[in-house]
Amino acid sequence: MKTVIGRRFHLTYTIQGVRKLLIRNGWSCQVPARRAMERNDDAVAGWVKEVWPCAEDSRRPVEPGSCSRTKPDSP
């Protein structure tokens, strides 16, 4: 935006100045979501339904922990 404003109106703004200018005029500083161009939403949805529950269930069982940072004494 800073470059566009500079080229179009022959003005220079700092990045903070551009941000304040946008906010003053009712605009927001939006950043696009990062996604792969090759993303296949149907495949992702299938993976979430079928594979993710199995991976989520295979986590270690929760055991009471020790407040000590050293290895607990063996039984």
The values of phi and psi at residue 42, to 5°, are -65, -40
The more confidently predicted of residues 61 and 16 is 16
Q: Output the pLDDT for position 37.
A: 83
Mean of pLDDT values over 45-49: 90
Q: Output the pLDDT for position 24.
A: 93
Mean of pLDDT values over 8-14: 92
Question: Are 1 and 18 a contacting pair, CB within 8 Å?
Answer: yes
pTM above 0.75, yes or no: no
For residue 6, count other CB atoms closer than 10 A to its CB. 13
Residue percentage of the chain with pLDDT more than 70: 75
Q: What is the pLDDT of residues 15-31, one digit of tens each?
A: 999 999 999 999 887 77
